[in-house]
A and B are shown apart, each in its own frame.
Chain A
């Protein structure tokens, strides 16, 4: 796995050198959370802001980690550096591992920044344990998102082909994951379909732990499924990422 760290170091170096990309991927979610605050301020008094604030923050990290990772990997393919890596002896597990490690650094930073902003702007008051759980959920979701980005990138020949996956995978999860409404109110098939998206399981844990009487023990299964997503998508990505044409 030494070479996974070589890839990770290079990915981090690239992210740090690309100031515009880095600024956008950190500032954009912060600005969107602020817009969300402006929108919620227009709603009638007594509206349950907490129910939406953290899930939306989680969604932003999910979306950005997915799209940035997918596009970076597709760029590797179009530029020919992916082929060059494999000819130079890198294995696909090392490339996937390196990308995961590299993008996880960015996703961790995004998760901390977006969660901190949401908690500060919406004046949310959570205990230390709840904050740690929320961070862990957003972080696990970020891992699943990076893996999803790697998996999806294997089906795209150029950057433009990544975008159709946004309405196909990311946007349905907004409506079917329970982030905007209770999934119990959806038709049975839509509720079932919602379970496919990692955001569903992340939202399930978030909604439980932010309740005053919430108990993490009640959502251990959802937590485990969220962690399992990373592993399953890692396996799928290592099956679909081809080392040779």
Chain B
């Protein structure tokens, strides 16, 4: 079962094409990463999936439902965390979470609000007005608002942008925890180390998906630099990124033939993605 099925999705703004025929499938229960540079169309795609933006052409199904045709049924099952905090600054974190929870008739809302504030580590500041919270805390309030009605699927638009590494790590632990409970997560990011934390990623460029795969397999499309020190001399070679490539490169040496040290420097996912983007642009 696919949580998201998109085919031929086009969105135009006047003559400009923000999405130019996106095809995408996201299996249910996975953490899916939508990766791409700024302006690639990530936010536009997420907005089309949550029903905040009407596609110019194409088919969209989220949890088997149409974002506009099955509006009421779908919105109960999805949670959306936009790129901007999108909160009421004069209200407290608890009031914000309670407001969005009330939209869905969340049972035992008060208890559920406390639970998500606890999950997002905000219990101590739950009564403070949002304008008094730090940027990272606002992100967590925003996440709590998206989680309060226990959605089956979460759409998070760059949830860790401008967030310090400690909080990012904590947020990703929360995401993985939710995935462990069966929630499907659709996360947009331009950070490649985050893409490695996803079960599957799609790289979006200029409004088109150029690669969709397991991030570890994408990594294998890169190169690696192999350095072997033998009998006091260093030899360097560039090899493929797959484990089989490394094994093949090492085979001629043999461990008994004076090999003193072997080091392998693999391309980062960022480098691989950049080279894929570079090839695509050529």
Residues of A participating in the B interface, judged by any CB pair closer than 8 Å: 2-3, 6, 10, 13-14, 17-18, 79-81, 83-90, 244-245
Contacts and interface: CB of A to CB of B under 8 A. Distances in A.
B86 A80 contact: yes
Contacts of B75: 87-89
A88 B76 CA distance: 7
Nearest to A5: B102
B155 to A, nearest CB: 9
Nearest to A7: B99
B53 interface: yes
Contacts of B87: 79, 81
B61 interface: no
Contact of A14 (B54, B88, B104): B88
Interface in B42-83: 47, 50-54, 68, 71-72, 75-76, 78, 80, 82
Interface of B: 47, 50-54, 68, 71-72, 75-76, 78, 80, 82, 84-91, 95, 99-100, 102-105, 129, 145
Contacts of A83: 47, 52, 82, 86
A83 to B, nearest CB: 5
Contact of A84 (B86, B90, B102, B105): B86
Nearest to A83: B52
A85 B51 CA distance: 12
A86 B53 CA distance: 11
A84 B82 contact: yes
B54 A80 contact: no
A85 B53 contact: no
Contact of B103 (A6, A17, A244): A6
Given A81-B88, A89-B75, A3 B52 contact: no
A86 B85 CA distance: 16
B50 A79 contact: no
Contact of B54 (A3, A84, A245): A245
A3 B75 CA distance: 14
B103 to A, nearest CB: 4
Which 6 pairs show the lowest CB-CB distances between chains A and B? A80-B86, A89-B75, A88-B103, A17-B90, A245-B53, A80-B84
A112 B75 CA distance: 41
B86 A14 contact: no
B103 A14 contact: no
B90 A88 contact: no
Given A244-B54, A245-B54, A88 B104 contact: yes
A122 B54 CA distance: 56
Contact of B91 (A3, A10, A86, A87): A10
Given A6-B103, A81-B88, A87 B53 contact: no
B118 to A, nearest CB: 21
Nearest to B142: A84
A89 B88 contact: no
A85 B87 CA distance: 10
Contacts of B104: 88-89
Contacts of B102: 3, 6
Contacts of B78: 87
Nearest to A85: B103
Contacts of A89: 71-72, 75-76, 103-104
23 contacts: A13-B95, A14-B91, A79-B85, A79-B87, A80-B85, A80-B86, A81-B88, A83-B82, A84-B80, A84-B145, A85-B103, A86-B51, A87-B51, A87-B80, A89-B71, A89-B103, A89-B104, A90-B103, A244-B51, A244-B52, A244-B53, A244-B68, A245-B47
